[in-house]
Amino acid sequence: MTFAELVQYIVDPRNQPLDDFHFTPQTVLCQPCRVHYDFIGRYETLATDSQYVLRHLGVIDRVNVSRLNVSLRPHDNHTLSMDRVRAEFANIPTRNIDVLKNIYRADFEAFGYDSSIV
């Protein structure tokens, strides 16, 4: 499936509301306005966020994190990633982008992301 086909699937009115939880807005799945979360992590800061959570849980002092066989590298290719996002969205019709922004508007607002990147 191409990115354009995925976007077409998501914006198709016959698929609304989105039944596939992979594409359902996070604000619908997690309801951050109704549930009091102690912490909301972000992919861009996964390495530091995971360290914070482990420390907060008191686990980091008892577990040798390096032995967990998990690589949590900082998100260091932000410019490259954004270039790829822009390139992919360049092939998407504006009306589909507008529908996507509407579907995920609450997510952008709740989690502090900028929807103007596309």
pLDDT digits (tens, 9 = 90+) for 64-118: 655 655 555 555 566 667 888 889 999 999 999 999 999 999 999 988 888 887 7
CB count in 10 Å sphere of residue 49: 16
- What are the boundaries of each domain within the chain? 3-117
pLDDT at 99 (0 to 100): 96
> Which pTM was predicted?
0.74
Q: 8: buried, middle or exposed (CB in 10 Å: 19+, 13-18, 0-12)?
A: middle
- Cβ distance 86 to 116 under 8 Å? no
Does pLDDT of 46 surpass 70? yes
Alpha helix (H) residue ranges in 45-104: 46-56, 78-89, 94-103
**Which pLDDT belongs to residue 13?**
92
Residue 40's SS3 state is coil
Q: What pLDDT score does 91 carry?
A: 92
Residue 49 CB partners (closer than 8 Å, separation 6+): 39, 41, 42
- List, for residues 51-64, the tens digit of each pLDDT value: 888 888 888 766 66
